[in-house]
Chain A
Amino acid sequence: MHPAKSVILFTTVSGAGYGLAILFALFDLAGMVPPHPAVSLAGLGLALLLVVIGLVASTFHLGHPERAWRALTQWRSSWLSREGCMALITFMPTGLYLAARLMGKTDVIPVLAGATVVCSVLTVQCTAMIYASLKPVPAWATPLTPLTYHVLALASGGLVLNALAHTLGFWRSDFVDILSLLLLSGMVVKIVYWRKIGRASATATAESATGLGEIGKVTLFEGPHDADNYLMKEMGFQIARKHAMRLRRLSLLWGFLFPLLAVSFASFTQGVGASILVGVSLLTAAVGLFAERWLFFAEAKHAVTLYYGNDKV
């Protein structure tokens, strides 16, 4: 599948925003972040900002962005529509939660924080289901897709929260324990995912696509046109296995291991050293997670390629 930059940006950045909102709300409920308005403004405000950046980016790949509101109408059948609706709905509890913190209304915090968590989780689930519900792309049509989206949203949001905690002075050592667990989980989920797609048996073949399997082995002799068409450009994206392996290693190291080391060292460091390490954790994670999401698209094979020379998907 063609890895469109706008969609990669949307899924990673809005994912980090929802992850940040979820962890901030949970930590707040557990009394792990100070109920100070400035802290809430930074945490929840940044979460909302990341979500907005992601959503705006997602409209860049549309042919008619001015009609994007129409995407809110078909939630009965479409995961993309559900995603749009949930993204809008989630602004309500998160915005009210932030407002309550700014105005010091503590009695409504548990309800609003809880609603923020539930809505954010549902939004990430909807985003992942857009991909996981596509049967023609077997590498996506697996429960590992939503699991990956959830874990990576939390891990990236956790890194942002950790950075905020360092900057605003509410850092605690258990932040790093939780963050380490999330980053390691992300690594495990990705390794399991790659093993799964590497070993998966064919869901469809050139023989089933043409129905000619009873006669014998089917290979494409001549494509319909000389030039690449939309289907080939959009669905026939191919990445060399050599590059895929290199990018997998890069995404594991930069997306999980380097941030893990950086936040761990930062917890033993003070002042500028800690700030630099926390900055490194964010930058390396951004590189690694973009690579991960790029691969998620680039490595996924679509059934239509069976009509264009691929033998199985």
Chain B
Amino acid sequence: MDYRSLSGLFEDEEEEQEDTYDTDLLANKEYLVYLIDSGCDMMLPFEKGESCLKWAMKAVEENLKKRIIARDDKVGICFFNTLKKKNIQEADGVYVWSELDDLSAELIRNFRSLHGSFQKDIGSQVTAAANAREHPLHDALWVVQAMLRSGVKNVEKSVVIITNNDDPFGDINDAFVRKDLERTTIQRALDAQDLGINIELVALNTPDKLFDKTFYNMITQFEGNEDASQDSEPSSRFDDLVDTLRRRMYKKRIVRKMLLTVGSGTEIALKTYALIRPAVPPSHIFVDSRNNQPLKIERTYICSDTGALMHEPLKRFEEYQGKKVVFSVDDVSDIKRISSVQLRLLGFKSMSCLQPYHNLRPSTFIYPDEVAVKGSTCAFIALHRAMVRLNKYALACLSSRATFQLVALVAQEEEGDSTNGMNVIYLPYSDDIRPAEKYHTSISPISKASEEQVEMATDLIKKLHLKNFSVTDIQDPALQKQYRIIEAVGLEEDDISEIEDETLPDSKRIERASFFAKIFKNSVFGEQYDEEEAESAAAKEKGGAAAQKRKAAAELAATEAQEYNWVQLADAGKLKSLTTEQLKIYLRANGLPLLGKKDILINRILTHLGK
């Protein structure tokens, strides 16, 4: 890491900077406790006749499997409304199955086998004590808070309550006791919140009843905590449940805070978010294959001139016109510093100016930051609205330590899944754009499609139209496969199930379009096209005239070569007495180069004979 941070400035990577920013300021590690309700309501069937608890545990297992690969978190698992108890506070109805710890394959395996023995080992609390002064939910929050006590810098702490019971105090008859318990439970949650612990709810709908979040909202949602609560809708299906848990793995992370400068003194504060970033394949280290111990990487710098060991050099050079031009870190940083303004508005352009190829890297999402500069939201909304109405985007320049980039700020409207805000699109410079359209400019006009052909293409396109398509439906098959392998080896599973490649086209749809495909093909390519192609492919196979000639020559040489006993000639040292033409017979027969003087040819033959 030291190595990279030192020489980071010599690199040209914006992304790298984003990463370091993350680790510096924001939590990228999470301490998480799954708090699973195992009361009698959770025994109700959820899907395929199996209980809510079983599916909840299955969903947690899936989530653990994803988390162990993708993140570096510590996880604890706790049940409440249990028959047995296990916690240092000796609270009834709370069972800490696993204390907060790094994830391991063993934990996942044990958790997987837990369901079979759950009733025996832990047990579900069938009836709540009607007049109890203590309540498992209240106690569980207390226990969990203790589990998350250890504090390390920059760690996000969360509790995920998984339940289908929207009225945990419903069984208590005494109204006064119930009110009191509710109040103390909410206070408990508040205390946890004060200690920096987020409490989140993952709710399950029971088939005959939808989950009512009124009570839990009081526990999970607090005023002024806009970023923390991303409450999801209660799930009715197992897949939704898994998805809800998966989604919350990606926290809304602020990449950078910055100011958009309009004119000379007006500054709108923004928060930027990385909502779309290529998922990186799992990282690896090297281990010693004999003992599976991690290897330490040691880098040494050696001067090429003197062979001396040296420290990581802090200067760089470039060969220019025979001179060695030397740069220091400061020089490079000065060159890159074009402006001290973070994001400066240059003006507005019509949306049609934004070409499809005006793109370099993933976009960044921006949203106003009312806390840093009061009035930002108002100004942002006003600009957003004006840009949408006038169909314009803003051109701005974005400076950071590593780069200086022209960017387009494109207003994003609220619609379906997408939220309102703006996207930063990184524009290329003239240096980055290639005139690729014109690489094959012809010196005379070339054929374009006729109107009729365009009509046929339209029919085909309509037939192949994917309705309700969303990119978010497709998983990366290569990544899935790699995860699957690591998981299978990690969990000591024997069979590695094939993953489904969702990127492949749907053969049925293609089939249905085949009629229009044929019409289009006949019109553009002609009916004989396949035959023509087959012929030209065959001709290629045979090779051109020159290739055929070469082939014939090699055959001829092979027969001629048989007339000589090469080994004998070589051993007797008589190769020298042959003419170069005779020597070339051998070379040609064995596919060796024919170039060179006589002794080179002889040497080549000797080498080939292994002498």
Chains A and B form a bound pair: no
Which residues of chain A have a CB within 8 Å of any CB of chain B?
Answer: none
Which residues of chain B have a CB within 8 Å of any CB of chain A?
Answer: none
